[in-house]
Amino acid sequence: MWSAPPTVELKLTVRLTVCPGTEPVLPLAGSPCTTSPVKDAIVVVAPMSGTVVTGRSDAAGNYGVVVPPGTYIIAATAGSGMRFASDPRWVVIPNRPTVHLDVNAFVQLA
Q: What is the tens place of the pLDDT at every residue in 40-50?
A: 999 999 999 88
Confidence of residue 55 (pLDDT cuts 50, 70, 90): very high
The set of residues, in sequence order, having a beta carbon less than 8 Å from that of 52 and lying 6+ positions away, is 44, 45, 46
Q: What is the tens place of the pLDDT at every residue in 7-28?
A: 999 999 999 888 776 665 565 6
The residue extents of the domains of the chain are 13-109
* Superfamily of domain covering 13-109: Carboxypeptidase-like, regulatory domain (2.60.40.1120)
Q: What is the tens place of the pLDDT at every residue in 62-106?
A: 999 999 999 999 999 887 666 777 889 999 999 999 999 999 887
Cα–Cα distance measured from residue 10 to residue 97, given in angstroms and rounded to the nearest whole number: 9
Decide: pTM greater than 0.95. Answer: no
